[in-house]
Amino acid sequence: MRDSAAVQELRTDRILLRGWQPEDEPAMARINRNPEVARYLNRPLDEHGVCTFFDAMVSHWEHYGYGPWALESLEPDTRGHFLGFAGLASVPSFMAGAGPGPELGWRLDRTAWGRGLATEAAVAARDDAFVRLGLAELISIIHPENHRSQRVAIKLGMRRALSIENLVLGRDVDVWRLAAEERPAPARRP
């Protein structure tokens, strides 16, 4: 893996992907407590999970040198609002059959859905993983009924590769894959 210390943030037209800040903790907890947001997660997010989520995000960056980016709006009407996260995480041990990972994931506040923000942030995180980190492959683990995340994965160039049992949920989930050489060419800006 290439040096991961060089980039502190990424920017898209509408989103700042940045490191986690203490004020993100209550906003992310609120997002994680939303039943609609949590509906298709790969594990139930109980109150303990909600309360330890922020520390897990920060620790992942400290341990691996990469992780899920905190997302902040750059749009004029919502500039500075915390949107959620997108980025890389290690594959949970209870889903080792998914492959070595890392997993590209995203989770946005319900108010941010339906505007392409998840795709925009995930594309930036995907490109950073392949270009800066030099990763050969990414996976995403997606609940088979989560059609919104499936659409994001398709837009990222991913394809459904296999189905594995999620022992925590007691059901199968889909593993989507994308190899670096299969990555769609970045869109050209006018």
Render pLDDT for 10-29 as a digit per residue (tens, 0 to 9).
Answer: 999 999 999 999 999 999 99
Q: What is the mean pLDDT of the chain?
A: 90
Residue 125 lies in a domain: yes
For residue 187, pLDDT beyond 60:
no
Provide, rounded to the nearest whole percent, the portion of the chain with pLDDT above 90: 72
Compute the distance between CA of residue 124 and CA of residue 173 in angstroms, rounded to an integer. 25
The runs of H, that is alpha helices, within the chain are 24-33, 35-38, 47-64, 117-131, 147-155
Compute the distance between CA of residue 111 and CA of residue 127 in angstroms, rounded to an integer. 25
Residue 164 lies in a domain: no
pLDDT for the residue 91: 87
What's the pTM? 0.90
Render pLDDT for 26-63 as a digit per residue (tens, 0 to 9).
Answer: 999 999 999 999 899 876 677 777 788 899 999 999 99
Domain with 81, as residue range(s), is 9-138
Residue 84 lies in a domain: yes
Looking at the 3D structure of the chain, how many domains does it have? Answer: 1
**Closest to 70 (Cα-Cα) out of 123, 38, 25:** 25
